[in-house]
Structure 1
Amino acid sequence: MAMQLNKQLPLPADLKAEYPLSREITGVKARRDAEIRDIFTGRSDKFVVIVGPCSADNEDAVCDYVSRLASLNDRLSDRLMLIPRIYTNKPRTTGEGYKGMLHQPEPDKAPDLLAGIIAIRRMHTRAIMESGLTSADEMLYPENRSYLDDLLSYEAVGARSVENQQHRLTASGMDIPVGMKNPTSGDFVVTLNSVFAAQHPHNFIYRGCDVTTGGNDLAHVILRGGVDKYGTTIPNYHYEDLVRLMEMYGERSLQNPAVIVDVNHSNSNKQYKEQIRIVSEVLHSRNYNPDLKKLVKGVMIESYLEEGCQKIGGTHIYGKSITDPCLGWADTEKLLYKIAENC
């Protein structure tokens, strides 16, 4: 085989034993998970905002960002459920480029997966300790989520992974909300099929074990826009798109219909400032149609301390994205207040 075995990585249980959680952190997660569940089941009308950098590349900058979110949370928590976006592994369209802290704890150095899994667990733990906010990450590698499953309150399955069987079946064994993004084609049917699969029980192989899952009633749709066969970006956050998704939900026997709108990626064509306008349109659609207000549970925003993005290496600007461009903190703070006023 054209594969070289570098080293045996620790089992998730062993890593958790080496880097355990305090009773305080466990309690914070339990409370946050219950509050988030109430939103997705309709018991609470708080609006979810999953917000943070495109990629969590630097522990100090990420924890700085999350602590700022915590200060806002103290003032906005009566209307908003703020979930920090701490994405530690990144899908790459061609396989090239920075794959996230899991692969490269230091972005300008060679991959080190052992150091990476330790780094991401320590960063997520520190973020909770310093902010009291549990976070969201992307389930890029289903078998790796076991290193963080006692820390996360939300997970997303990306556009390139949503048709993958292992992602769907693993999502069916999770007890927190899992957002299934529409594929890069933008196909709603594929997305809803993924939600259906995730909401039902399955028997499969996971980390070398024969497992059975009970189904995840909080699996739901994330709309992130699509690209047609000519490479043209097609957004799907408009009123007509939301109504069409609502009608398609109504044709299926799915629990807790919900959608989160990702206002960057193909919805903004990666024009990061457009996120502000798109959020306003989503809120207008919700307020215009009471049924959409129940369906659209929140938005996902890419934001960091400094706006825009930068290349890896050279003079590094603290808190500026090294992958997709993000809103800066000043715009983010204004936007969160605006969402709280209008959601």
Structure 2
Amino acid sequence: MQKDALNNVHITDEQVLMTPEQLKAAFPLSLQQEAQIADSRKTISDIIAGRDPRLLVVCGPCSIHDPETALEYARRFKALAAEVSDSLYLVMRVYFEKPRTTVGWKGLINDPHMDGSFDVEAGLQIARKLLLELVNMGLPLATEALDPNSPQYLGDLFSWSAIGARTTESQTHREMASGLSMPVGFKTAPMAVWQRQLTLCVPPPSRTVLLALTRQGRLRCYKLRGIRTGM
């Protein structure tokens, strides 16, 4: 790391992370799991569009801090989802990132050991391993898209994504939402006016682009077509 009077003045250390491709190779999706996630994304899209009469319910823990506790919750969640499946489609919240207005624990990816060590690579590995176990249980999963780099590492495992209240008016997050491959929900912004809130679901113009990582860890400019299933 270059550090001098003009560069990295406030940086104390750095950690080179594995690429999204390396993480996915270590924790791969099976073809059956890919088909399951694609099917759950379609179901959610159908509900939002009114083609499926059921009510979409995204519920679960505020955040995930312990994989074993999450798996125990998921087993009970699966039983409930089956019980109400005629009228409700339940999607389990699996939130690994937490936005903070000031300070506080920012989630399992950021600090998986909850000790201030900020072992982000371990956090990504723990998160992907847990998500694969939950998908293997047959559950559709939801998250909040917070860090623009996270979707390349974990986005293929989620069926629905939220843009949180603190970031719902952020240009970066709206562009990221336009590039996600799943249905997206926008939370109500702080002090929101309903008319302004509705504009957040309008797809950006076709010329909109997003700067994001590839699976190989290279920065690329993506042209976006805009959100097709928003709520």
TM-score for the superposition, normalised by structure 2? 0.88
Aligned-partner SS, 2:156: coil
Asked whether the 8 Å contact 1:173–1:213 carries over to 2, the reply is yes
**How far off its partner does 1:82 sit?**
0.5
Asked whether the 8 Å contact 2:142–2:161 carries over to 1, the reply is yes
The number of residue pairs the alignment matches comes to 218
Identity %: 32
Aligned counterpart in structure 2 of residue 127 of structure 1, from 134, 142, 149: 134
RMSD: 1.7
Asked whether the 8 Å contact 1:163–1:190 carries over to 2, the reply is no
1:217 correspondence with 2:207: no
Aligned counterpart in structure 2 of residue 34 of structure 1, from 42, 45, 51: 42
**How far off its partner does 1:189 sit?**
3.5
Aligned-partner SS, 1:195: coil
Asked whether the 8 Å contact 1:169–1:197 carries over to 2, the reply is no
Aligned counterpart in structure 1 of residue 193 of structure 2, from 187, 193, 210: 187
Per the alignment, do residues 212 and 69 of structure 1 end up closer, same or farther by CA in structure 2, a change over 3 Å counting? same
Runs of at least 5 residues in structure 2 that lack an aligned partner in the other structure: 1-8, 214-218
Runs of at least 5 residues in structure 1 that lack an aligned partner in the other structure: 221-343
In structure 1, C-alpha distance between the alignment counterparts of 2:141 and 2:211, rounded to whole Å: 27
In structure 2, C-alpha distance between the alignment counterparts of 1:147 and 1:124, rounded to whole Å: 11
TM-score for the superposition, normalised by structure 1? 0.60
Aligned counterpart in structure 1 of residue 25 of structure 2, from 2, 7, 17: 17
In the other structure, the counterpart of 2:123 is 116
> 1:240-264 CA distances to partner (integer Å, 9 max, x unpaired)?
xxxxxxxxxxxxxxxxxxxxxxxxx
In the other structure, the counterpart of 1:335 is none
AA in 1 matched with 2:153 = Y
In the other structure, the counterpart of 2:114 is 107
In structure 2, C-alpha distance between the alignment counterparts of 1:60 and 1:70, rounded to whole Å: 15
1:67 correspondence with 2:75: yes
In the other structure, the counterpart of 2:3 is none
Per the alignment, do residues 153 and 103 of structure 1 end up closer, same or farther by CA in structure 2, a change over 3 Å counting? same
27-36 vs 103-112, which moves further: 103-112
1:2 correspondence with 2:13: no
In structure 1, C-alpha distance between the alignment counterparts of 2:69 and 2:132, rounded to whole Å: 15
In structure 1, C-alpha distance between the alignment counterparts of 2:165 and 2:44, rounded to whole Å: 23
**How far off its partner does 1:86 sit?**
0.7
